[in-house]
Amino acid sequence: GQNIDQPTEMTATEGAIVQINCTYQTSGFNGLFWYQQHAGEAPTFLSYNVLDGLEEKGRFSSFLSRSKGYSYLLLKELQMKDSASYLCAVMDSNYQLIWGAGTKLIIKP
Amino acid sequence: GAVVSQHPSRVICKSGTSVKIECRSLDFQATTMFWYRQFPKQSLMLMATSNEGSKATYEQGVEKDKFLINHASLTLSTLTVTSAHPEDSSFYICSAITGNEIQPQHFGDGTRLSIL
């Protein structure tokens, strides 16, 4: 079966750095997406990785290792507004998106 | 760009009522739209995929006669929850893409459906 694993919840301090991991087992691979979802709102796109390595976009970076079936989202200089759920989603060989359950990130002052 | 509008944002109605949710792409042609359902503290569950002018493809376990999807134009898809019951209460979200290239889905703001 297809599976996406990410931690259920994480806590970090304002101004710090946090890394949210995602491991996956899917039928084929056509890229991995990270989305941010605030409570009661729709997801917003953060990043897309299809090749190995690190993609940096401002305070957010996303890393991919296809051989390990592993990705992480790195958030720097955390702000209170970063409190949200972060969803990892993998596109399989049929171009279907397989969604992880999401990681709820709690930022404390 | 790539704005998706979803209405209504919140619906509260009695059991047995049918509810229609609209999803519109405002500045692009949505060749494919997706309908998701999300229960509290859970991830997105894909209900169906619809391509403009074609019948929707439903995921396993989703009743197509209960969740009617219409994608009659390149900018509008509707989801009708027929004879809704309390167990249908959930957060319904649509998303859209254009063309066949791999791309992020653009999401509407979601509809909170509460059936009394």
pLDDT at A105: 98
Cα separation of A25 and A37, whole Å? 23
Interface touch A43/B91, C-beta < 8 Å: no
pLDDT at A1: 76
pLDDT at A79: 97
For B36-47, what is the mean pLDDT?
A: 90
Interface touch A33/B104, C-beta < 8 Å: yes
| CA-wise closest residue to A94 among A3, A27, A23, A4 | A27
Please determine, for residue B53, whether its predicted confidence score (pLDDT) is greater than 90.
Answer: no
High-pLDDT (> 70) share of chain B, %: 99
High-pLDDT (> 70) share of chain A, %: 100
CA distances to A13, A18, A39 from A77, rounded to whole Å, are 9, 9, 21
CA distances to B9, B17, B41, B60, B72 from A4, rounded to whole Å, are 29, 36, 16, 19, 34
Residues of chain B contacting A35 with CB distance shorter than 8 Å: 104
pLDDT at B100: 82
Distance from CA of B74 to the nearest CA of A (A): 21
Could you tell me which residues are beta bridge partners of residue B92?
Answer: B37, B111
Residues of chain B contacting A87 with CB distance shorter than 8 Å: 43-44
Residue of B43, B91, B104 with shortest CB distance to A99: B43
pLDDT at A94: 86
Distance from CA of B40 to the nearest CA of A (A): 9
Strand B10-13 versus strand B111-115 pairing type: parallel
Q: Which tens digit of pLDDT belongs to each residue from A17-45?
A: 999 999 999 999 999 999 999 988 889 99
Q: Report yes or no: B104 and B28 within 8 Å, Cβ to Cβ.
A: no
pLDDT at B101: 85
Those residues of chain A that have pLDDT short of 50 are none
Interface touch A101/B107, C-beta < 8 Å: no
